[in-house]
Structure 1
Amino acid sequence: MPDIRRLAFLLTALVTPPALAPLALAQGTPAVTPPTTAPRAILFRLVENTAAITGTLDGPTAARRWTPGESLGPLARQQIEATVKATALGPTGKLGAATVGGRIETNDPCDWVRDTRYLTTVKTVFPAHALSAPWNPVPRPITALPLNSAPYLAIVAAELKKRGLTAAPRLVQLLRTDLDGNGRDDILMVAASDPVTFSDGVMSTLYAERAGQYSLVLVREALPGGVKTSVLGERIFKTAPAADAFPSVLTQRIGAVADLNGDGSMEVLVDDYVHEGEGTTVWQSRTGTGGMQKVLEWGCGV
């Protein structure tokens, strides 16, 4: 999570607009009452052979909401332990069919995290995500654009200038899609002073070490009232971190873009790291009101 040093990530519940979930479910707080009905969808975060249970989508169509993975209902637990079919998801859409499930274990040392197995490995880099749901999770195409696109580099340069940074703009991800189905394309950008790298197929942790380093996650939405830029992640280092400072991590990446709750709009999943921790934040377009809204945080870290 941007610029936050903490011992644990928060895990909150994703809801179908306009209702909002409680904004804090952290280590040590009371768990959500487990649902007694079968889930409508199950969301997983995939890393190699492990699938963290991010949450289950429960309730009737008009009031669907996510139950955190730590509060699995009995029917959800049965389904996962018997294995479920899911769609593996990456930055540009569907990666393929996946089988997820088996024995559910508690993550150590993050005892609020529930892990199971990613049994069918689709060729990709990790982290990736998977959704078990009856609807199409990617209703519109997602296109990767050239990273040397001058207009978007100029946008990054302007955003850096606002923050007092004169570093050269660099794009490490540039995607185009229609998030909310309004017929207008939106642009998703990840800008970083250093490349996002992968070691053995898993996203590497990159620490801030010098002045001028940065990482920005931006979404430019084409809305009825004009174009609006939302910042989904921001890590800026105008000066070099002090030698005795708490370690700060730069790494951020758009992990997937998908319709997670079946409402036709696609959410943006941002994967990132903090010192000895990792997480995913889900952002949703607020159709008609402008800007992106953070609706889910999942993570594990100490």
Structure 2
Amino acid sequence: MQKVWSVLMVLGLSVAQAPQGAVLLRLNEAQQAVVVGAFQGGRWIEAEKLSRLEARRYQVFGPAGRINQAQGAGGLQTPEICDWNRETLLALLERRAIQYPAYAISAPWNPQPRPVVSFAPTPAHRQAVAAELSRRNIQKAPNITQALRADLDADGRDEVLLSANQPGFSLSNGRIEGSYASEAGDYGLILVRKLLNDADLRTFVLDVTHLEKPFDGSEGMPTVVTRRLGAILDLDGDGKMEIITEDWVHEGWGSTVWRWNGQQFVKVLEWGCGV
């Protein structure tokens, strides 16, 4: 599964050439970090366009905030599987449990300038999810798996970010695993509820997928429908926070960075690896 990127098409670029830039890593497990991409010179850059990476200090985040810090040794490695990826060594500096995936960012600015808060969803939030499922003729009940609140664009109004999954997440050895769909209507969904003004509340669906018919094993591998909020961070230094979402496929996973452009949420960076 090689994904398409929104990128600056410059070969052999070194992050060292732009010390004010940011580097974003995804940690799938301890000591294993893949480069999602970088932001420098006002542009988003995919990992495979980087020729070198200096040793850097990173802050590590999960969906609801900072969870660790890390030291990157620098250097880039190319794995045999998904050879468009770049990996780098990373050592966690604090002795605390981490749930993977997690995200490490090295940047000269505060990557989370406003708090991200996890909260218990209300009936109104379940109704919002149910409405989006109904629009897609998905008959299963809303099962909200994450509910986060944050002021993404510093306008003084909190956005509500929800993930909903049926079946829900599975957890193995401290790592979130994607769940295989087997029944018609199994789904994964990520949405944002945003007040455009005091009287205009909109719902923006970032990602949604579902199984249209039961899986009987006659058409290849089963579908993985899990969709998850990975982190909420300012990745480009403008004081506004981007949303990192996660998806899974059979023996693979991916991350997507979304940015609010004043009218809608748009993809600015996408990474994935799978067989």
TM over 0.5: yes
2:61 equivalent among 89, 92, 98: 89
Aligned-partner Cα distance in 1 for 2:228–2:73: 26
1:264 partner SS = coil
Q: Which residue of 2 aligns with 1:54?
A: 36
Write the mapping of 1:110-259 to structure 2, written as runs, cut at 5 A.
110-120=82-92, 123-147=97-121, 149-224=122-197, 226-246=200-220, 247-259=222-234
Aligned-partner Cα distance in 1 for 2:74–2:105: 16
- Structure 2: give runs of 5+ residues left out of the alignment: none
Q: What displacement does 1:103 show?
A: 4.5
1:51 partner SS = strand
Select between 178-187 and 203-212 the one with higher mean Cα deviation: 203-212
Paired letter, 1:54: V
Is residue 178–residue 184 contact of structure 1 (8 Å, CA) maintained in 2?
yes
Aligned-partner Cα distance in 1 for 2:219–2:194: 36
Given the alignment of the two structures, is residue 43 of structure 1 paired with residue 21 of structure 2, yes or no?
no
Write the mapping of 1:4-23 to structure 2, written as runs, cut at 5 A.
7-13=1-7
2:49 equivalent among 71, 83, 87: 71
Q: Which residue of 2 aligns with 1:4?
A: none
1:265 equivalent among 240, 247, 263: 240
Paired letter, 2:162: M
Q: Which residue of 2 aligns with 1:286?
A: 261
**Aligned-residue identity in percent:** 39
2:91 partner SS = coil
Paired letter, 1:156: V
RMSD of Structure 2 on Structure 1 (CA): 1.8
Aligned-partner Cα distance in 1 for 2:82–2:233: 27
1:160 partner SS = helix
- Structure 1: give runs of 5+ residues left out of the alignment: 1-6, 14-20, 22-30
Aligned-partner Cα distance in 2 for 1:135–1:189: 27
User: Deviation string for 1:108-127 (max 9, x for gaps)?
Assistant: 21111110122116532111
Is residue 208–residue 237 contact of structure 1 (8 Å, CA) maintained in 2?
yes
Is residue 86–residue 98 contact of structure 1 (8 Å, CA) maintained in 2?
yes
Aligned-partner Cα distance in 1 for 2:225–2:49: 31
Aligned residues: 267
TM-score relative to the length of structure 1: 0.83
Higher strand share: 2
Q: Which residue of 2 aligns with 1:17?
A: none
Q: What displacement does 1:298 show?
A: 0.6
Q: Which residue of 2 aligns with 1:26?
A: none
Q: What displacement does 1:12 show?
A: 2.9
Aligned-partner Cα distance in 1 for 2:36–2:73: 13
Is residue 35–residue 58 contact of structure 1 (8 Å, CA) maintained in 2?
no
Q: What displacement does 1:73 show?
A: 4.0
Paired letter, 1:51: A
Is residue 26–residue 101 contact of structure 2 (8 Å, CA) maintained in 1?
yes
Aligned-partner Cα distance in 2 for 1:263–1:103: 27
Aligned-partner Cα distance in 1 for 2:10–2:171: 35
1:105 partner SS = coil
Aligned-partner Cα distance in 1 for 2:38–2:211: 37
Q: Which ranges of 4 or more aligned residues in structure 1 deviate by more than 4 Å?
A: none
Q: What displacement does 1:292 show?
A: 0.9
TM-score relative to the length of structure 2: 0.91
Aligned-partner Cα distance in 2 for 1:163–1:44: 34
Is residue 164–residue 227 contact of structure 2 (8 Å, CA) maintained in 1?
no
Aligned-partner Cα distance in 2 for 1:54–1:217: 20
Q: Which residue of 2 aligns with 1:277?
A: 252
Paired letter, 2:219: A
Is residue 144–residue 163 contact of structure 2 (8 Å, CA) maintained in 1?
yes
